[in-house]
Amino acid sequence: MRPDQERRNTVEAAASLRSRPLRIGIGGPVGSGKTALVASLCREMSAAVSLGVVTNDIYTTEDADFLTRAGVLQPNRIVAVETGCCPHTAIRDDIVANLDALAMLEGSHPDLQLELVESGGDNLTATFSRGLVDLQIFVVDVAGGDKVPRKGGPGVTTSDLLVINKVDLAQMVGADLGVMERDAKQLRGPLPVVMCSLVDDPGAAAVREWVERQLCLDHRTDRELP
Amino acid sequence: MSSLSGFGGAIPHHRPASMTALALLADSRFPSGGHAHSGSAEEAVSQGWITGVADLERFLLLRMSTSGAVAAGLAAAAAIWAGATGATGATGATGATEEHDPIDRMAACRVPGWLDCEADARMAAPASRAASRTQGRLLLHTARRVWPRSRALEVLDRGAFGVPSTPSSPVRPDGGATGAGALGAGGRLSRSAPHHSLVLGAAAAAAGSDGHGAAVAALYGAVGAAATAALRLLGLDPMAVTSCLAALCTEIDAAAAAAVASATMAIERSDGSILPSHGSIELDLASQRHARKEMKLFAS
């Protein structure tokens, strides 16, 4: 059996242990590259994993339209949630519209294994409710300045994966990647940090590998299935 | 108005209405997706009807006396029905148990259906009906989790309301019902849902409030959503906006009392035509215009 088929079998076995698809939230400040990262994950993973995306945007369908135009996923696997001037409310305090959107996706695609919920661009305090997602990725970018990780906030300190994005721009904006990585690791302890550049690596390999690992975990034990 | 039948007779009395239950339901932090709706305030701002606090006050009064009053009548009627329908099982938190229910169960099951038709008939704009059903679906989601023993909420969740639509967009400007997503106990995907006012009434009863509480929550919700949206869109002084709302308290109380009186009579006589039916063509048109816009911050 080819290795990717083995991987697929493991993902299926892990999915069958869960009562619903794995839900991963992707949050972070405006312009940090969340939508491009979601597009990249969809492009790389949708052949092997049954995927759905929920976007939360200020102007209803901006990010959903981007994903649709990018052609990375069938349009009926992308649902946009309207957030009424308050994108962080829709992912943290009042999550019903997002839960409803996920229910829609699961109803029309009963085979879904992974759901990505992208937040609207917000500030460093915006995180997902655990009632909405199982895991969350927080995306910051070097162009926001190398002090961003040090400033902390629940996204930087507690997210399951911190992505420091657009590292290809570091030299141009005078950001010290070493400082960013050191500060992030200091604040996050054992929680993982990955450096990412969609210019140098359009497939976002490090993030994709992390997501794939989560898909292979037995959620009851948090151990990877054999 | 639809022909109504069989719900006449005594409305059972329960414990005094809980004020705390009303506070819980009227709190904008109650998770029901309401933060994404402006009650046509966004369109009113873009039309230049609201430019400051003085305009806002007039707009809120219009909202209160039209869509607010209609929602209050329907919510009060739904709460009276739900109060009589009670909770599932003998240990339910509210109302009568199944064994002691004095209401004809078959007749009681028809009530939400005709109230839903009455709601449809009172919302001329398809976009308003769609927004109402979307908010009904989302409130139902939360209410079912919070009050799992409420029989009325269960009836609303299992019933077929509105026209089912395809799972495409959360709000459709053509007014197609954007209905419930797999929220029913059976995990089925039904894209139909009862109107928001019905769910609000049933939730009020489940929480321990009554028709009056449901009417106040509906009225306060109608003006509160618009006030908050205007504050955000125009950067208004929050103290001035709150003063606007405070000035409306007496009118809201009076409108709620009127809504309860007509709802009680409507239920007793099984005659929905008694329920408030005020409307504004300008607001209906605004709602419809807003739904067609590409660039908007609020869903409605």
Residue B97 has pLDDT above 70, yes or no: no
Strand pairing of A217-218 and A223-224? antiparallel
pLDDT per residue as tens digits for the range B25-46: 999 899 999 999 999 999 999 9
Token duo for residue B284:
């209906």
Is residue B12 in a domain?
no
Residue A123 belongs to domain with CATH number: 3.40.50.300
pLDDT per residue as tens digits for the range B143-165: 999 999 999 999 999 887 875 44
Compute the average pLDDT of residues B212-236.
96
Is residue B11 in a domain?
no
The answer to whether A82 contacts B298, with C-beta atoms less than 8 Å apart, is: yes
Compute the average pLDDT of residues A205-222.
91
Domain that holds residue B198: 19-26+33-292
Chain B interface includes A90 (CB < 8 A):
yes
More confident residue, A86 or B180: A86
Percent of the residues in chain B that have a pLDDT greater than 90, as a whole number:
71
Is residue A54 in a domain?
yes
Residues of chain B found within 8 Å of residue A81, distances taken between Cβ atoms: 36, 170
Domain that holds residue A43: 3-144+207-216
Is residue B128 in a domain?
yes
Total domains, chain A: 1
Chain B interface includes A86 (CB < 8 A):
yes
Is residue A73 in a domain?
yes
DSSP E strands: which ranges in A83-159? 114-118, 135-141
Is residue A61 in a domain?
yes
The answer to whether B38 contacts A84, with C-beta atoms less than 8 Å apart, is: yes
Q: What is the pLDDT of residue B88?
A: 64
The answer to whether A82 contacts B167, with C-beta atoms less than 8 Å apart, is: no
Is residue A198 in a domain?
no
pTM attached to this predicted model: 0.84
**CA A25, A31, A36, A37 torsion-angle sign:** negative
Total domains, chain B: 1
Is residue A178 in a domain?
no
The SS3 assignment for A224 reads strand
More confident residue, B123 or B189: B123
Q: Are the beta carbons of A35 and A54 closer than 8 angstroms?
A: no
Cα A34-A4-A159 angle, rounded to 5 deg? 30
